[in-house]
Amino acid sequence: MKTLKLTFFLFAIVFGVATLYQCNNKTEKPRVYVLLKNIKNPFFDKIEKGIKSTNEDVQIIIKSGKNESDIAAQVEYLHYIANDLEVNKKEKIWGVIITPTSSGKDLIQYIRKIREYKIPVILVDTKIDSNQLKENNLLDIPFIGSSNEKGGEQAATLLLDTLSSNSKILILNGVASQETAFQRNKGFHNVIDKESIVITERIGNWSFDEAFKIVSSLITSGNSYDAIFAANDMMALGALQAYKIYNKKIPIIIGFDAIDDAVKSINNGELYATIAQDPFQMGKKAIELVNVLNSNQKLDTLNYYIETKVIKK
Amino acid sequence: MKNITKKLNSPDMKYIFPWLLFIISFTLMVIQNHGNFGQRTSESLNWLIIFGTPYLLFAMGAGLVLSTGGVDVSFVGVSALSGVLSAATFGLTNSIFLSILSGLFFGLISGIIVGLLISKRFAPSLLATWAVGMIWFTISVVISKHIKIDNVTTSVSGIELINFPKFINYPFTIALFLFILIQTLNYSGLTKKTRAIGANRDSAIYAGVNVTKTEFLVYIINSLLASIAGIFWMTVLDRAQTEPFIGQEIIGIAIAVLGGTVMSGGYLNLFSIVASTFFYITLEKLTKSVNIGIADEQHWVSIALAFVFILVTLFFGKKINGTTTPVHIDRNTQN
């Protein structure tokens, strides 16, 4: 037992020294903090890859929450960055890139604190409410994303081409407090509300499992739908799986994001379509903007929209 | 009348109570269903098996551990990594046997690690199991992100499963398996020993129970049950998710408690945990399928679910609770 304890002790020391050495090495480069909603969603994984494609000699630190509504994790990380700024001052931090988990006021005070040190902050994928930004003098924060409203409209137009009037549609929405979810839903309603379509809405929290549970519970309670619009591909795939499990006729299912699994499913003739975003380009553009802002150049615009397109078989 | 009142006030009532809750909720669910009555009822039963099995396995494991007076929250991490390892093994070898074996083997290893930490090294169970669970969970993400398998889509969210047999096509076989599992645990005498340990550890020692061995075994069984749940859920979703039950540790424990398990130890009935699992799953189905008709209704669903539990504890708290009277004796834990 003593030998075992000694081995553990030595291992802990070696591990600790190695970590310290690595940290020491890394602190020489300026840091870019990237706060992603949830690294376990392939969409955010691609944003990360886009950010890491930079040629700039910076250290990129990725932070992610447990899920896409984990506001507490982002608050904690932003608080940490703000503290880091107080201790290390500006020269150590090159920029902060955030895919906000909340479009409300939850993150604002920390972003304001970071901006006080003139650190570039870039919002990606999800906006923060403009009134909140205005109240805190943060309207100069750039945003990079897809036109979610337009994407929602594209999905609705695609469905209307295939459905007759009085068809039943199930909408699976993302986290209610997020601008992205709101915009996709709004875009979809802009088009679909003009027709007499019966709509049922549920919130799937962007999650495969949640969508799977919701759709399973609905179809085993005797509900049927002609089409499903899921605000992201994970929910679309969850809905699809529910139909497969209960051997029901798969309705037209449209997702959003064009992750690899969804595109494969479309090619297999299961999902009908997805609205493609380009998360890699979003990430790449975000790090470019950080570099531009650090070189004191002016930006052409504060809103950069990467085009969405329909992908179907 | 006196006999009925006496029966209602007996300690065993807490084990019958979950069945009453389940019958009420299942009746409500059947009434709420529309369309073909027979088909809907059969689909609802199928729903119970599909969604109930992982929660039942979690709750049974949690119940076993709780009845000893400990707690194990590593089961979510164990189920995630078991699923990922099974899916990866199947993708690489195309062998169902090896796939299931790898998941179960990992469950066994995890159980041994947790069991050693708690029964032999006397680590605080909540801290130790939480830390171990987090490690498994993170490893499952790393494996899913970096593994490359021909013709299989892998990503941070999980690993796709192609052409794996669908256990859920045989719901009665699953139900039979669960029944045999519960009966085996009951007849093995393990539940009696865990209750004895939870009620009074020292008395259990004097009564001849090998406390260290029993605790060690309980953590292994808990991990194995979690890995079965992970493998089962992988076959349901046709993919091994890296975050299938994340954040749901408390639900497994809550179901066990609703089933009459007492958190301070001493009380456990696996069949009443079956009832409380079915009650929870039925309630979840009810709340998810009812259209409340407002935009962010899912939040209201969560509130409704929580409200039902508050009502249950408010009116029937005494029925589902139980007290043991541990004798606190300072002892040298090394012996």
What is the residue extent of each domain of chain A? 30-145+279-306, 148-276
The two three-digit tokens of residue A107, written as one number? 């993150």
Backbone angles phi, psi at B138, to 5 degrees: -65, -40
CB contact under 8 A, B296 and A176: yes
- What pLDDT is stored for residue A12 in this prediction? 61
Report pTM: 0.79
- What pLDDT is stored for residue B116 in this prediction? 93
CB contact under 8 A, B288 and A39: no
Q: ipTM score of the complex?
A: 0.81
Q: What is the Cβ-side half-sphere exposure of residue B217, based on CA atoms within 13 angstroms?
A: 14
> What type of residue sits at position A132?
Q
- What pLDDT is stored for residue A85 in this prediction? 78
CA closest to A248 among chain B residues? B43
Mean pLDDT of A119-147: 87
pLDDT tens for residues B74-133?
A: 999 999 999 999 999 999 999 999 999 999 999 999 999 999 999 888 899 999 999 999
Fold type of domain B48-320: ABC transporter involved in vitamin B12 uptake, BtuC (1.10.3470)
Task: Provide, rounded to the nearest whole percent, the portion of chain A with pLDDT above 70.
Answer: 90
A205 has a chain B CB within 8 A of its CB: yes
Tell me chain B's radius of gyration from C-alpha atoms.
21
Query: CA of A234 to nearest chain B CA: how many angstroms apart?
Result: 9
Among candidates A271, A264, A274, which has minimal Cα distance to A250? A271
Among candidates A48, A32, A122, which has minimal Cα distance to A279? A48
Among candidates B105, B26, B51, which has minimal Cα distance to B97? B105
Q: Do domains A30-145+279-306 and A148-276 have the same CATH topology?
A: yes
Q: Average pLDDT over chain A, rounded to whole?
A: 85
Fold type of domain A148-276: Rossmann fold (3.40.50)
Distance CA B78, CA A312 (A): 38
Q: Which of B40, B156, B299 sits opposite A45 (nearest CB)?
A: B156
Place of tokens 């159980």: B111
Greater confidence (A54 vs A62) lies with: A62
Torsion angle of the four alpha carbons B167, B173, B179, B185, in this order, in degrees rounded to the nearest 10: -60
Residue B139, class by beta-carbon neighbours within 10 Å (0-12 exposed, 13-18 middle, 19+ buried)? middle
Distance CA B123, CA A79 (A): 32
Distance CA A186, CA B13 (A): 52
Mean pLDDT of A40-62: 85
Asked if A154 contacts A275 with a C-beta cutoff of 8 angstroms, the reply is yes
> What type of residue sits at position B255?
I
- What pLDDT is stored for residue B306 in this prediction? 77
Residues of A in contact with B299 (CB under 8 A): 176, 203
pLDDT tens for residues B23-40?
A: 887 887 777 676 677 777
Distance from the Cα of residue B34 to its chain's centroid: 31
Among candidates A188, A202, A197, which has minimal Cα distance to A152? A188
Q: Provide the sign of the torsion angle of the four alpha carbons B305, B137, B240, A240, taken in this order.
A: positive
Among candidates B75, B25, B29, B26, which has minimal Cα distance to B55? B75
> What type of residue sits at position B326?
P
pLDDT tens for residues A165-187?
A: 888 999 999 887 778 888 899 99
B202 has a chain A CB within 8 A of its CB: no
Q: What is the Cβ-side half-sphere exposure of residue B160, based on CA atoms within 13 angstroms?
A: 18
Number of H helices and number of E strands within chain B? Answer: 13, 3
Directed axis angle between helix B37-67 and helix B13-32, to 10°? Answer: 150
Tell me chain A's radius of gyration from C-alpha atoms.
22
Q: Is A257 left (phi over 0), alpha (psi -120 to 50) or beta?
A: left
CB contact under 8 A, B298 and A203: yes
CB contact under 8 A, A208 and B34: no
Q: Any bridge partners for residue A304, and if so which?
A: A144
Q: Is the per-residue pLDDT at B294 higher than 50?
A: no
Helix (H), strand (E) at residue A305: strand A303-306
Distance CA B57, CA B63 (A): 10
Q: How confident is the model at residue A24 (pLDDT cuts 50, 70, 90)?
A: low
Q: Which of A68-77, B98-107, B203-212, B222-231 is least confident? A: A68-77
Residues of A in contact with B54 (CB under 8 A): none
Q: Provide the sign of the torsion angle of the four alpha carbons B246, B252, B258, B263, taken in this order.
A: negative
A234 has a chain B CB within 8 A of its CB: yes
Among candidates B253, B283, B243, B327, which has minimal Cα distance to B60? B253
Number of H helices and number of E strands within chain A? Answer: 11, 12
Helix (H), strand (E) at residue A170: strand A168-173
- What pLDDT is stored for residue B335 in this prediction? 45
Mean pLDDT of A200-218: 89
Distance from the Cα of residue B148 to its chain's centroid: 31
Distance CA B81, CA A282 (A): 31
Distance from the Cα of residue B229 to its chain's centroid: 8
Q: Is the per-residue pLDDT at B219 higher than 80?
A: yes
Query: CA of A200 to nearest chain B CA: how many angstroms apart?
Result: 8
Distance CA A208, CA B120 (A): 40
Distance CA B82, CA B103 (A): 4
Interface test with A, best of B26, B45, B169, B289 (most A CBs within 10 A): B289
Mean pLDDT of B12-20: 75
Residue B294 is given by DSSP the state S
Per-domain boundaries in chain B:
48-320
Q: Average pLDDT over chain B, rounded to whole?
A: 84
CA closest to B160 among chain A residues? A261
Asked if A190 contacts A152 with a C-beta cutoff of 8 angstroms, the reply is yes
Q: Is the per-residue pLDDT at A90 higher than 80?
A: no
Fold type of domain A30-145+279-306: Rossmann fold (3.40.50)
Residues of A in contact with B35 (CB under 8 A): 222
Among candidates B214, B181, B178, which has minimal Cα distance to B67? B214
Asked if A275 contacts A41 with a C-beta cutoff of 8 angstroms, the reply is no
- What pLDDT is stored for residue B167 in this prediction? 83
